[in-house]
Amino acid sequence: MGDGRTKYGSGREALIEAAVRVVARHGLHGMTFRKVAAEAGVNNSLVAHHFGSLSNLAATALEWAVATTSADSHLPDFLRSESEYKDALWATLDRELDVHVYQFEMILEASRTEELREQIVEIYARYTSEVAHSMFGDDALSSHLALARAVFAALDGLVLQYAGGAIDRTQLDESVSALWRLASAARTASFS
């Protein structure tokens, strides 16, 4: 299991991964115990047994999705190497586009669901912190968080555009390169 993913056990994780795929295809409101069970190849009572409710399943799947993408994102190493970062980004998008789509669905749902909003705020704080660490190392100050948040927002938006089909692979690649150069210049300017 050396892929860095959080493991919940094969049965439970299979249900979580099935929920992510169902939501990626049908939207959050298209997720049912029956669809998740069919996707996982199990009886739908097993889904209810493990999670109790669809909202518990969705929240657990969000935790799993964030752990998965965080392990694969290389955000803490964003400015170390443009080519390494882009290789890592393409690897995760090629392998786990559904996981990114799931997170975007949950982000939108947070605008309507107070309980979910706190989880999304924590997730974005984590991603911002990882970018801040990449840009400024252990010397990252609270004043650097605004810049790190802007850089992550741009990355996040580019992935959203790619997932939604608004930009193609070449456009994403070119845009990530441009953002990398901007972030690198911003880091240099902030230390001057």
- Its domain, for residue 162, covers 55-191
Identify whether 114 is part of a domain. yes
Q: CA nearest 128: which of 183, 165, 177, 172?
A: 183
Identify whether 39 is part of a domain. no
| pTM of the full structure | 0.84
Torsion of CA 121, 127, 132, 134, to 10 degrees: 170
In angstroms, rounded to a whole number, what is the distance separating the alpha carbons of residues 57 and 145? 32
The count of structural domains within the chain is 1
Identify whether 143 is part of a domain. yes
In whole numbers, what is the pLDDT of the chain averaged over residues? 87
Least confident of 20-24, 73-77, 151-155: 73-77
Mean pLDDT of 47-67: 92
Residues in the chain: 192
In angstroms, rounded to a whole number, what is the distance separating the alpha carbons of residues 178 and 180? 5
Mean pLDDT of 84-101: 90
